[in-house]
Amino acid sequence: MNDKKNIGCLKIICFFLCLIFIPIFIGALIDNDMIPIFAFVIISIYGAIILLYNMHKTKIDMENDKINMQKKYEAYLSGIILHEEGLPFPKGVCVNVYYGSKKLTFVREHQEIILELSKVESMDTVSGSDIQAQATAA
């Protein structure tokens, strides 16, 4: 439904731009010097509209993917972390984390690690400034 609404808005915008630029373009046909300028303006505006629509659609798709993944992993919190150690992932890779009421899920590419929260004894989080402080102290 949302995509139909977006496409409808895009069609309305294009229609009104045509109403504005077609008379100008026809008027420019009389003066041959202006044809390339108006053609460039019209093509640029249509290109900008298509670009903005694609950016908006990509943003909506990413939000929908995040919601679908949270539903899949029964999570109410999610985020991306930089893995340092403790899981069978290489050091320094980004890992998606899904935190639910019964389990904690780590996902990287097609590999999933699911931990039951009842079996997790402790979890340490370290910020970037903590890592820098530890590195300078060593």
pLDDT in tens, 39-96: 777 777 877 888 888 888 888 888 888 888 888 888 888 888 888 778 888 888 888 8
69, containing H or E segment: helix 35-72
With cut-offs at 50, 70 and 90, classify the pLDDT of residue 138: low
Q: Token pair of 73, please?
A: 């992993």
Give the pTM: 0.54
Q: Rounded to whole angstroms, how far apart are CA atoms 16 and 26? A: 16
Q: Token pair of 35, please?
A: 């044809």
